[in-house]
């Protein structure tokens, strides 16, 4: 009869709750019982663990009653990340490894039938959870996951390729298993400490110099990048809306280490993280057939959606009126708060979602309303229904509305290359830095009294804004968002105070579409 304890983690949103794998071996009818609110994937670990231990040349206790408890019992557990700790718990309870030395480690990894370790989701979230504790234990992960978790500063991460690589570190000295291991060849890189190797991210995306004409749209993109504002582009097909949006991420300031960790942790939850993308702002562009759950997240257990995968990056919605109404309305909360809360009967999870929305749409169903080269055949009622697919509350949360007209063929074929993304980004970074020095956040993040405190409106600009808001019927949200856009324009101009000219330019970017 034996008892062992092995530590691991279970994911609950971005949180990685600690899980204690308790393994008890007792005499009785041979069985393998797994308890502790385990999902189907975890229950299937019994067969994977049994075959992995046998194929690794270790002894599986067939003639004993095996009970595995995943504590706490009320925490849901999913995926195959608990395969490795369950296998180690069985080996420790049966005396094949030293269970007392496992206390300083936490383990995660899926086992193949041969005993090889397979990557799992959320390794970076696990490392971040360990980083927040006072005593940082050592983390043992499969290849790929270990390099990912090592990005967290101060983490102690070890990579193991096979179950035997882990077992060799905890075999009791002088045991029969230790003597057998000494006769077997040991791979040099089977078990090793992993150190983070970070390279300066290289911006390899498309350049804004490729876009000819569209000076007004480029100016709006520059303002959006400098202040963190959302943007909607309206224009006929082929005018360059998608081309502009694909180059928007190249105008944004570089990510800080904290922002890069948050973005990478969310990508890790969905298994999308790659080391070569470290420090690059994500751009998510879901198809217009995406559901509300795909956009904001959901499921059981809850998983992050596109708005969270675009955290500290760009969410590009092409052909916005073609999205489901429920999907678009679900964007209202994260646009305002920068987070999304997913509540289910079993659990409640909160994911960060501070993204920059870049939307594109045609002005009418045929797309040629106001075009000089094509005649629009849509009726006024069709145009109204099409534009009303974007509700007033959603439009009110979009800071910049800009027209993107067709570029004449003479300008398109004969014009020289435009300004590069590098030069535009330099102005955006300088403006963003002025805002950070003044208020500690981007202009878009200003809330409540901070808007009045840091807007620094000139007297004539304040009077002009009051008059415009009254005549145009802006809501309080629309007025504040216009004021924050004006503050960003002032930062781009290097002005300490927001002048009437900055407010007048900000007014031009409100509501080109009337839903």
CATH code for the domain of 15 = 3.30.230.10
Same domain, 244 and 100: no
Residue 81 lies inside a defined structural domain of this protein: yes
Domain total of the chain: 2
What range does the domain containing 167 cover? 2-194
**Upstream peptide bond of 72 is cis (omega within 30 degrees of 0):** yes
- Asked if residue 419 and residue 290 are part of one domain, the reply reads yes
The answer to whether residues 111 and 255 belong to one domain is no
Total residue count of the chain as it appears in this document: 515
Asked if residue 475 belongs to a domain, the reply is no
Q: Are residues 157 and 269 in the same domain?
A: no
- Whether residues 150 and 214 fall in one domain: no
Q: What is the pTM of this model?
A: 0.88
Report the alpha-carbon distance of residue 313 to residue 336 in Å, rounded: 16
- Are 362 and 390 in contact, with CB atoms under 8 Å apart? no
E-only strand ranges, 264-346: 283-284, 297-298, 303-304, 314-317, 339-343
Residue 491 CB neighbours (<10 A)? 26
Distance (Å, whole) CA 158 – CA 193? 4
Same domain, 143 and 9: yes
Q: Does any domain span residue 303?
A: yes
Do 251 and 418 contact (CB within 8 A), yes or no?
no
Gap between the Cα atoms of 5 and 92, Å rounded: 8
**CB-based contact 229:399 (threshold 8 Å):** yes
End residue of a domain, out of 141, 162, 194: 194
One domain for residues 228 and 169: no
Task: Report yes or no on 397 lying in a domain.
Answer: yes
The whole-number pLDDT of residue 202 equals 61
> Are residues 38 and 100 part of one domain?
yes
Residue at 202 is within a domain: no
In a domain, 454, yes or no: no
Cβ neighbours of residue 343 closer than 8 Å, sequence gap 6 or more: none
Residue 445 lies in a domain: no
Identify the bridge partners of residue 401 per DSSP, sorted by sequence position.
232
Over the chain (515 residues), the average pLDDT of each successive run of 10 is: 90 89 94 93 94 95 94 90 96 94 94 95 87 77 92 90 95 61 52 79 78 90 96 92 93 91 90 85 94 89 91 95 94 92 82 95 91 87 93 92 87 77 94 95 91 92 91 90 96 95 93 50
Query: Tokens in use for 16?
Result: 């990685």
- Which helix (H) or strand (E) segment holds residue 490: the answer is helix 476-492
Question: How far is residue 429's CA from residue 227's CA, in Å, rounded to a whole number?
Answer: 10
The per-residue pLDDT for 45 is 94
Omega of the bond leading into 429 within 30 degrees of 0 (cis): no
Per-residue DSSP letters for 97-166? S-GGGGGGEEE--EEPTTSBEE--S-HHHHHHHHHTSSS--EEEE-TTHHHHHTTSTT--EEEESBHHHH
Cα separation, 8 vs 493, in Å, equals 53
Is residue 443 a part of any domain in this protein?
no
Q: Give the per-residue pLDDT at 276.
A: 82
Same domain flag for 10 and 154:
yes
At 514 the pLDDT is 44
Residues 169 and 215 in one domain: no
Last residue of a domain, one of 404, 432, 460: 432
Among 128, 115, 123, CA closest to 84: 115
**Same domain? 77 vs 185:** yes
- φ and ψ at residue 307, rounded to 5 degrees: -65, -30
Tell whether 225 and 172 lie within a shared domain: no
Distances, alpha carbon 443 to alpha carbons 61, 71, 307, 315, 340, in Å? 63, 45, 20, 19, 21
Per-position b or e across 101-115, b if 16+ CB within 10 A of its CB: ebeebbbbbbbbeeb
CATH number for the domain that contains residue 306: 3.40.50.300
């Amino acid at each position: 009869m034996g008892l062992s304890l092995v530590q691991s983690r279970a994911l609950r949103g971005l949180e990685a709750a600690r899980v204690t794998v308790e393994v008890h071996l007792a005499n009785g009818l041979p069985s393998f019982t797994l308890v502790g609110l385990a999902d189907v994937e975890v229950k299937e670990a019994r067969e994977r663990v049994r075959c992995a231990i046998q194929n690794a040349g270790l002894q599986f206790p067939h003639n004993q009653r095996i009970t595995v408890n995943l504590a706490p019992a009320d925490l849901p557990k999913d995926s195959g990340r608990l395969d490795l700790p369950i296998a180690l718990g069985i080996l420790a309870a049966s005396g094949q490894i030293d269970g007392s030395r496992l206390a300083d480690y936490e383990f995660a990894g899926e086992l193949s039938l041969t005993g090889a370790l397979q990557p799992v989701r959320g390794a970076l979230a696990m490392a971040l959870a360990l980083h927040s504790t006072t005593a940082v234990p050592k983390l043992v992960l499969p290849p790929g996951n270990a390099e990912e978790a090592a990005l967290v500063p101060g983490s102690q991460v070890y990579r193991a390729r096979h179950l035997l690589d882990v077992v060799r570190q905890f075999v009791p000295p002088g045991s029969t298993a230790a003597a057998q291991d000494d006769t077997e060849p040991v791979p040099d890189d089977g078990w090793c400490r992993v150190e983070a190797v970070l390279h300066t991210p290289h911006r390899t995306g498309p350049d804004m110099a490729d876009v000819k004409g569209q000076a007004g749209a480029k100016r709006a993109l520059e303002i959006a990048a400098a202040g963190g504002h959302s943007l909607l582009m309206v224009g006929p097909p082929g005018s360059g809306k998608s081309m502009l949006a694909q180059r928007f991420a190249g105008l944004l300031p570089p990510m800080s280490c904290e922002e890069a960790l948050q973005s990478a942790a969310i990508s890790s939850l969905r298994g999308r993280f790659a080391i070569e993308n470290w420090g690059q702002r994500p751009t998510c562009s879901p198809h217009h057939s995406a559901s509300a759950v795909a956009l904001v997240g959901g499921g059981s257990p809850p998983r992050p959606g596109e708005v969270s995968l675009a955290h500290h990056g760009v969410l590009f919605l092409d052909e916005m009126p073609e999205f489901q109404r429920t999907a678009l309305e679900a964007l209202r909360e994260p646009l305002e708060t920068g987070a999304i809360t997913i509540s289910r009967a079993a659990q409640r999870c909160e994911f960060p979602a501070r993204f920059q929305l870049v939307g594109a749409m045609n002005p009418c169903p045929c797309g040629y309303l106001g075009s000089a080269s094509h005649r629009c055949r849509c009726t006024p009622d069709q145009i109204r229904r099409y534009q009303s697919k974007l509700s007033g509350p959603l439009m009110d949360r979009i800071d910049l509305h800009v027209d993107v007209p067709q570029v004449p063929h003479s300008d398109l074929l004969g014009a020289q290359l435009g300004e590069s993304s590098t030069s535009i980004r330099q102005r955006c970074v300088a403006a963003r830095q002025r805002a950070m020095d003044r208020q500690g956040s981007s202009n878009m993040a200003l809330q409540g009294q901070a808007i009045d405190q840091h807007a620094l409106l000139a007297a004539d600009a304040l009077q002009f804004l009051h008059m415009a808001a009254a005549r145009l019927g802006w809501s309080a949200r629309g007025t504040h968002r216009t004021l924050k856009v004006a503050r960003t324009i002032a930062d781009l101009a290097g002005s300490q105070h927001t002048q009437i000219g900055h407010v007048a330019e900000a007014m031009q970017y409100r509501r080109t579409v009337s839903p």
